[in-house]
Amino acid sequence: MTPERWQQISRIFKSAISLDGEARAAYVRDQCGPDESLRSEVEKLIESHQQASAENFIGGRAADDGVVLVIDEVEEHPPRLNKGQQLGSYVIIDKLGAGGMGEVYLAKDSRLERTVALKVLSPDISADKRRMQRFSQEAKVASSLNQPNILTIFEFGEVDGLTFLATEYIDGETLRHHLRGKRLKLTETLDIAIQVLSALDAAHEAGIVHRDIKPENVMIRRRDAVVKVLDFGLAKVTEKKSHALAEEESEAATAFKTAPGVLMGTVNYMSPEQARALSVDERTDIWSIGVMLYEMVTGLMPFGGPTSSHTLVQILEKETPAFPKVADAPAELQRIIRKAMAKSPDERYQSAKDLAVDLKSLRKQLEQKSVLVADDTDRGPDKKRVLVLALVVMAVVTAGIFGWSIWRASRARSSVAVPPSAPVAAVPERLLTYWITVQEFREGKYKEPYTMAAEVSFEPKDQIRLYVSSPQAGHLYILNEPPRGAAAVPEFQILFPSPTANKGSTFLEANKQVQIPEKSWFQFDAQEGVERVWLVFSEDAVPELESVKGFASEESKGIIADMTLNKAIQDFLTTHSATKPNLEKGETLTTLKMPGKLLLYAVRLEHH
C-alpha cells in the first residue's frame, strides 16, 4: 500500500466513524467515488473498528493479563533450593532463573570461596542415567578445554538426588538480551562471532559439537564484553528420546506441529540436517552461527514463519534471503553467511577456523578502509605538528606498605594459586586484553568518563585509567616511556606493579582485572608528544624487570632514577619487541596475542 493510499483511507475512515448508519455509508460512497477497492478497504476497516470496540480489543494494558499468568507459573514451580541452603559444598545465595532444563542459582563454593552459577537439572532430564553419563563425559571434556570463550565448568555432580552443574558465574547478559530485536554494529557483530568461533574451534578440536548455538547460549560479560558460550554438550542430553517417529516425517517437524501460532526460537537456528533429525557433526554449529550472524547484522531472522513447521520447511527449502536494504553490511559478509548456511554440510565452511579466518580478514579490510577515510580527513596542513607529551602519575592514595616482604608473601601465595587446569595447547600463546577509560577535561570541568573506542588525541589535564585482564595467569609489568627527546636512554616510569595495585605483586591471576592506577587517574600535562605505555605479560617472572619493582613507591612516583637500569629496560624492550603481537580490536577493548611465553606491546597515546 502506498503512503498516499494509506493517508486517503485514514482520512475517510476518520470522518466516517463519527457518522451513523446511512449517513456513514453515503459519506464513504461519496468519498470513494468509482474506486471500488478503496471503498472495500475503508468498509472493512470500519467493520474491524466496530468489532474491536465491541470486544474491547487491546482495551486493557498489555502486562495485566500476562503478569497474572506469570505469577501462576512461578507458583507452579517453587524453587527447590532456598537462600542459605546447602547443596554439597555449595551455599545458595540467590535464584537467578529457571527454564525448561531446571533452575539456576547463584551460589558460593565454601571449599574454594568462589562464586559459581549452579544449574540444578530438572528430574525428568536427570532421570535418564545413560544420557546423564554421556553428558558427564562431555562436561568433563568441555571443562578441560579451558578456552577463554567457553564458560568454565567446575563440577558436574549429584547430591541428595539433585543433579547439578557448577560453572563460572558471569555477570553479564545473553546475546539475545543484548540484541533486543535490534541489529548490532558491524564491528561488534564480527567481534562476537569471532569469539564464538574461537570457542567452537576449541570444542570441535576436542570432538564436541555444541548443537544448540543461539543467542540465548552466548553470554557477554558486562565488564569487558568478553563472549562466553554456554551449555556445551547439553543439547544432546535434552534431545528427543524417541526415534520411532522418524519414519514418514522428521521427528522435529512432528514434534512442533502441535504448537501452531507459537514462535519457536530454537527452531530458527536449527540446521537442515537437525530439522530432518539426521545425525549431525560440527558443521551444524557452522550453520547456526551463520543464522546468528544474519540476525546480528540485519536484526531479522533469515527463516521464520507463523509456526515452527513453516520455519522448518523454509530452513529445508528456501535459499538464505538477501540482506534487507536497511542493513549496510558489505557484500562480502553476505557471501560469508551464505556459505556458512549452505544447505549441504559439504558446501559449508568445513571448520570454525575457516569461517573465523574469513571474518577476521573482513574485519581487517574494514579497519583499513576506516583508517584510509580517517587519513583523508586528517590531512589538513595544521595536523603536521610534532607531538610531544608527558604523563604524570597523580598522587596515589596510599594503601598499606609496599615492600619486599609483602611482595614475597603474595608471590608465595600466587605459586599455590595456579589455575586448576593449565592450558594444554601444544604451542604456548600469551593473551592479554586491555582497554582505556578517559575522562576529558574541557572548559574547566571533567566530563563523564567513557571507555575509549578509537584513538583519541589527549589534551592537558585529561585523565586516563588503564585496565588489563587475561584469561591466563602470568607476570605483568607496565612501564611508561616518556616522549622521545634528545636523550638516548629514556627515563622509564613503572606503572605496574604499584604500591597499591595488586598489592605490589607482578603476578596476575587468570581472569583478574587490574585497574591502573588503582584509586586515581593518570593525568596528561601540557607537554605534547607520544607517550608509550609498555605492556609486558609473561608466563614466568622477568628477571630484567623484577629489579625495577623497588621504584614503584610513592616517593619516587614510579620514576626509575637509575640510568643503568633504564638502559637495561630499553635493551630488554628493544630485543623483545621485534615480534609484534597479533591485535584484535573490539569496540572498546583490544586483545593482544603472541606465540611463546612472553607478550610485549606498546600502547601509543598521542597528546596535543
> Which 430-449 positions form the footprint of other proteins (CB under 8 A)?
435, 437, 448-449
The one among 109, 188, 216, 587 contacting other proteins by CB under 8 A: 216
What's phi and psi for 437, nearest 5 deg? -100, 135
Of 536, 469, 545, 467, the closest CA to residue 508 belongs to 469
Q: Which is nearer to other proteins, 75 or 328 (CB)?
A: 75
Q: Which is nearer to other proteins, 438 or 573 (CB)?
A: 438
- Residue 177 binds other proteins (CB under 8 A): yes
- Alpha helix positions (H), 212-327: 234-238, 251-257, 272-275, 283-298, 308-317
- Residue 69 binds other proteins (CB under 8 A): yes
User: CA-to-CA distance for 96 and 116, rounded, in angstroms?
Assistant: 11
Catalytic pick from 212, 224, 231, 462? 212
Q: Least distance from C-beta 14 to other proteins, angstroms?
A: 5
The one among 140, 185, 222, 604 contacting other proteins by CB under 8 A: 222
Residues whose CB is less than 8 angstroms from the CB of residue 278 and which lie 6 or more positions away in sequence, other chains included: none
User: CA-to-CA distance for 75 and 135, rounded, in angstroms?
Assistant: 30
Would residue 461 be called left, alpha or beta, if left means φ above 0 and alpha means ψ between -120 and 50 degrees?
left
- Residue 130 binds other proteins (CB under 8 A): no
Q: Which three cell numbers stand for residue 578?
A: 621485534
Residue with cell 517453587: 78
Q: Total residues contacting other proteins (rule CB under 8 A)?
A: 84
DSSP string, 485-532: -S-SS---EEEES-SSGGGG--EE-TT--EEESSSS-EEEEEEEEEEE
Q: Which is nearer to other proteins, 223 or 484 (CB)?
A: 223
User: CA-to-CA distance for 310 and 304, rounded, in angstroms?
Assistant: 7
- Residue 383 binds other proteins (CB under 8 A): no
- Residue 80 binds other proteins (CB under 8 A): no
User: CA-to-CA distance for 28 and 44, rounded, in angstroms?
Assistant: 12
Assign 499 to helix, strand or coil. Answer: coil
User: CA-to-CA distance for 307 and 40, rounded, in angstroms?
Assistant: 30
Stretch that binds other proteins, among 24-32, 264-272, 572-580, 592-600 (CB under 8 A): 264-272
Q: Which is nearer to other proteins, 64 or 247 (CB)?
A: 64
Q: Which three cell numbers stand for residue 481?
A: 616511556
Of 111, 110, 135, the closest CA to residue 121 belongs to 135
The one among 8, 146, 217, 506 contacting other proteins by CB under 8 A: 217
User: CA-to-CA distance for 398 and 517, rounded, in angstroms?
Assistant: 11
- Residue 252 binds other proteins (CB under 8 A): yes
- Residue 188 binds other proteins (CB under 8 A): no
Q: What binding mask, one character per residue, do residues 506-525 give for other proteins by CB under 8 A, x or -?
A: --------------------
The one among 107, 208, 209, 219 contacting other proteins by CB under 8 A: 219
C-alpha dihedral sign at 313, 314, 315, 316: positive
User: CA-to-CA distance for 346 and 446, rounded, in angstroms?
Assistant: 57
Q: Which is nearer to other proteins, 467 or 496 (CB)?
A: 467
- Residue 123 binds other proteins (CB under 8 A): no
Stretch that binds other proteins, among 92-100, 135-143, 378-386, 393-401 (CB under 8 A): 92-100
User: What is the distance in angstroms between the CA of the first residue and the CA of the last residue of the chain?
Assistant: 56
The one among 71, 386, 416, 424 contacting other proteins by CB under 8 A: 71
Stretch that binds other proteins, among 155-163, 234-242, 501-509, 523-531 (CB under 8 A): 234-242
What's phi and psi for 12, nearest 5 deg? -70, -40
- Residue 467 binds other proteins (CB under 8 A): yes
- Residue 230 binds other proteins (CB under 8 A): yes
Q: Least distance from C-beta 301 to other proteins, angstroms?
A: 12
- Residue 124 binds other proteins (CB under 8 A): yes
Q: Least distance from C-beta 347 to other proteins, angstroms?
A: 23
Of 229, 581, 202, the closest CA to residue 426 belongs to 202
Q: Which is nearer to other proteins, 23 or 67 (CB)?
A: 67
Q: Least distance from C-beta 387 to other proteins, angstroms?
A: 27
**Measuring CA to CA, how many Å separate 377 from each of 96, 364, 388, 452, 528?**
49, 20, 22, 20, 22
Catalytic (active site) residue 212:
yes
- Residue 20 binds other proteins (CB under 8 A): no
Q: Least distance from C-beta 501 to other proteins, angstroms?
A: 17
- Residue 63 binds other proteins (CB under 8 A): yes
The one among 25, 38, 93, 96 contacting other proteins by CB under 8 A: 96
Stretch that binds other proteins, among 26-34, 51-59, 191-199, 386-394 (CB under 8 A): 51-59
- Alpha helix positions (H), 264-420: 272-275, 283-298, 308-317, 331-340, 352-378, 404-416
Q: Least distance from C-beta 339 to other proteins, angstroms?
A: 24
Active site positions, annotated: 212
